[in-house]
Structure 1
């Protein structure tokens, strides 16, 4: 039976013994005089070396924590944690497991694929190389030579090719227990005390940062849910017109809305708008304004100017510190006729086989900006197969371009809708969204909401 491997310090090879002499001893005459003994280092030099080591460690720790702090989402932060921890403890692979008490379990690997992570999960819970509920580090300096190791753990370690592991809990007094991180070594090894100390400091900082990011994720999910609940659960079905909507909410929750409301005599009311500000107050104001607009549309929807005038009066009386832009369109699908009015809102876009143009709406102030709002309405006569696209300014603002160039980009995207998808308003909206906001800008973190409402006339 082979003797167990002597453990070594991570990143440092064990000392190699001096080989025995095999040369015959020389005569005393040929032996040179012994060199004088070296002087012991001065106490000041030893202290200086220690201080230099501490400064180097603190500099490294500062750089790693700065990189971690710059992450603003959970996945990049976990990747940064694994990479920085691996460099501190001298490992090459690792994984992190998050198990917050009020959230889903998250597992992420460094140098490990999904299949590898799944294989590790087959180890019995009490024999895992980490403990998400514990409060102490777990060290396995030589797994293959360790007595009492779970057979399944030994099998998984042999299959994945790691011989040692070092795990630390992700837990602090303020953040609670979030999970654990573990790093794997290809050979028997363990980090020495200096590396453990640095890793412990870094992990404590990382745990606090992860706790903040988890709270941000929960807040974003909550705001997105509230916003979606305040918007239509589904669009109505009205003869002669097909509807589709796309909505992207900012991380703090914004005040953009869309609505489609069946009206008497087979008519249809369409609206989009945006309340200033972001966060819970803006979302609540958006919900109140949208509900009020629906009531005014039922009463006098055939006159969009009257609808927006009533909405402006309500906003000025109930929320004098807030303003909003809005556009309301009264559609008669049987006639393919649209009568609309806008208050500080961007003009709708008419998309067809033979033309793509912006509706010529009059310039008007947003609601709540003037003592009394009023602007003339505009009529659009659509052709069969044409789509009227309503949108909010967030679609333009997220491009980062000046407004004239953003409008030009939007027009080019609408004109370039493939003929094969022009019959589907949802496909038209998706094409415009991807073209105007490429590289995932529609899903990127932004204070701007994005709303598109497309109505295709048969």
Structure 2
């Protein structure tokens, strides 16, 4: 039978000749009168068995693509591990599972993640002796045969497996786990049966009845895990990097607040996945005065952290030298920023609370708390949100002067303002992350912050720690991680 040439593709004429289209199925008998000795198939159609195999391959590839795509949508290490367990349960026909994360490089973290298992149930599983647990033998594998380490661990019927520890069978009966299947998860390397130092942990799935995955299920799971392991490894590195950055952030901020007579301080600091350029400080100045500072540096990453540390260190030095003049403090800070980070901007606010003997003046009318009097707080702001004063009889924003952030003008300067803080009132300083975390426009965010302070009971207003907790809990959505860093500093006089 003659065949035509293959069609041209993109203007290229193939040099190969066509393949004959006649097919002789091996299962057909020559004596079959309906088929004859030779079955002509001019259309090139596959037999039924070929169609079934092709349909099976397409189904498997589609399933693996969907599961891998779903895994790619996870953003954190915990989300990736939970998705891996859920996908494995779908492929194996299991209902529950757990992942014991212990990277073989020894850098951590170690974590136990469950799918369909509560924290209490995971705790029960951890009481199983290591030599009988369904995963520890794969964490530190022993050769099952000379030169061949174990690559899976199957318990078809836990209740009747006398080789298992009695505690293993007892816990499995309590949790309703009749069988288990465990495999190591590792980032593969081109050579060797197992990667050296590439193991991430062990995944275990549990069946409600005695069972074991068949060859097709194990093959599909293996293909999925080879793709999933790299994604989990990437999320592991990201989690480690975030932990390192968080540690650096903490080192750049004061570890403790000063203890001064007549002042109680509290701070709340919530990390976000983004910027990391917020800073705050509370300084004990000569003669019992107090310096309060807060600010935000634009940008993100290690360079922003370095710039933030430099600004905070410079602000502390300038506050000690000329803290009585907040405008001079911010002017010096602006000069430092222009010299060291000419392409960067920052917002900052510095307040100088005069010593009690100098700044305390009589207040007409009944005292707000304990004894009468006010304490003067002089504030200068460089593009930072205004402080919120919260007392027994008032909740209002301070009228700070409108000014540009540091680094935006050739020479920054703005007038300072004086606040008279009555005894028992609290001054709240906060970063813009608190406002953006509401998800509302700026005007609505300010209104939400003010309303949260209004709703604080008198006992909460009298305690800066309780007030800070109330503000964060009321203003920010409790079920969401903040989109960026949030700092709230409360000073009650």
What TM-score range do you get, normalising by the shorter chain? Answer: 0.7 to 0.9
Question: Is the alpha carbon distance of 1:67 and 1:246 closer, same or farther for their aligned partners in structure 2, counting shifts above 3 Å?
Answer: same
Structure 1 residues 376 and 161, CA, compared in 2 at 3 Å: closer, same or farther? closer
User: 2:123 matched to 1:108?
Assistant: no
Deviations 1:191-230 (A, max 9, x none): 2221111111222222222222222222122111111111
Specify the alignment match of 1:229 in structure 2.
251
CA deviation vs aligned residue, 1:265-309 (integer Å, no higher than 9, x gap): 221111101111112111111111011011111111111111111
Match of 2:131 in 1: 126
Distance in 2 (alpha carbons) for counterparts of 1:389 and 1:149: 60
Alignment pair present for 1:318 and 2:348: no
Deviates more, 1:154-163 or 1:340-349: 154-163
| Equivalent residue, structure 1, for 2:379 | 340
Are the equivalent residues in 1 in contact too, given 2:382–2:404 (CA < 8 A)? yes
Instruction: Measure, in 1, the Cα distance between the counterparts of 2:51 and 2:353.
Output: 82
C-alpha distance 37-62 of structure 1, shift in aligned 2 (>3 A):
farther
Map 1:300-311 → 2, pairs under 5 A: 300-311=322-333
* 1:100-124 Cα distance to aligned partner (Å, 9 max, x none): 2211422223333444333433433
Distance (Å, rounded) in 2 between the aligned partners of 1:434 and 1:145: 52
Question: Post-superposition shift, 1:452?
Answer: 1.0
Between the aligned partners of 1:107 and 1:344, the Cα distance in structure 2 is: 45
1:367 offset after TM fit, Å?
Answer: 0.4
How many Å separate the matches in 2 of 1:152 and 1:420?
A: 52
Residue equivalent to 2:79: 76
Report the RMSD for the aligned CA atoms in angstroms.
Answer: 2.3
Change (3 A) 1:37 1:299: farther
2:437, 2:482 within 8 Å by CA — same for their partners in 1? no
Contact 1:170 1:203 in 2 (8 A): yes
Structure-1 residue corresponding to 2:176 = 161
Could you say if the C-alpha distance between residues 120 and 456 of structure 1 is closer, same or farther in structure 2, counting changes exceeding 3 Å? closer
118-127 or 239-248: bigger deviation: 118-127
Secondary structure of the 2:299 match is: strand
CA gap of 1:313–1:354, structure 2 versus 1, over 3 A, is same
1:396 corresponds to which of 435, 449, 470: 435
Q: Does the Cα contact within 8 Å between 2:275 and 2:299 map onto a contact in 1?
A: no
Q: How far apart, in 1, do the equivalents of 2:271 and 2:330 lie? A: 24
**Cα deviations by residue, 1:231-258 (Å, 9 ceiling, x for unpaired):** 1111111222211111122225511011
**In the TM superposition, what is the alpha-carbon distance from 1:155 to its structure 2 partner?**
4.2
Deviation at 1:177, TM superposition (A): 0.8
Contact 1:223 1:252 in 2 (8 A): no
In structure 1, what is the Cα distance between the partners aligned to 2:445 and 2:205? Answer: 48
Q: 1:412 to 1:146 in 2, by over 3 A?
A: closer
- Report if aligned partners of 2:323, 2:352 keep a CA contact under 8 Å in 1: yes
SS of 1:389's equivalent in the other structure is: strand
The structural deviation recorded for 1:151 is: 4.5
Residue 249 of structure 1 corresponds to 271
1:218 paired to 2:202: no
Structure 1 distance, partners of 2:169, 2:255, is 52
Equivalence for 1:450:
486
Show the counterpart of 1:433: 472
**Native 8 Å contact 1:224 1:253 kept in 2:** no
Distance 1:268 1:148 in 2: 69
Distance 1:38 1:298, change over 3 A: farther
TM-score by length of 1: 0.86
| Bigger relative contact order, structure 1 or 2 (CA pairs below 8 A, ≥6 apart) | 1
Q: Residues 385 and 137 of structure 1: is their aligned pair in 2 closer, same or farther, counting only changes over 3 Å?
A: same
Shift of 1:147: 6.5
User: Per-residue deviation at 1:172?
Assistant: 1.9
1:61 to 59, 64, 83: 64
* SS of aligned partner of 2:287: coil
| Distance in 2 of aligned mates of 1:141 and 1:249 | 46
CA contact (8 A) 1:253 1:280 kept: no
Q: Which runs of 5+ in 1 are unaligned?
A: 1-35
Distance 1:38 1:60 in 2: 39
Please give the TM-score of this superposition, normalised by the length of structure 2.
0.80
Cα distance per residue 1:4-61 (max 9 Å; x no partner): xxxxxxxxxxxxxxxxxxxxxxxxxxxxxxxx99999x84332222111111111111
Q: Please list every run of 5 or more consecutive structure 2 residues that lacks an aligned counterpart in the other structure.
A: 1-31, 40-44, 142-149, 190-196, 361-374
Match of 1:415 in 2: 454
Q: Aligned partners of 1:259, 1:353: CA distance in 2, in Å?
A: 26
Give the one of 250, 256, 280 matched to 1:258: 280
How many residue pairs get matched?
A: 419
- Say which of 231, 239, 255 aligns to 1:209: 231
Change (3 A) 1:127 1:291: same
| 3-state secondary structure, aligned to 2:108 | coil
Spell out, residue by residue over 1:76-121, the C-alpha distance to the aligned partner (whole angstroms, 9 max, x if none).
Answer: 2222222211110111222211112211422223333444333433
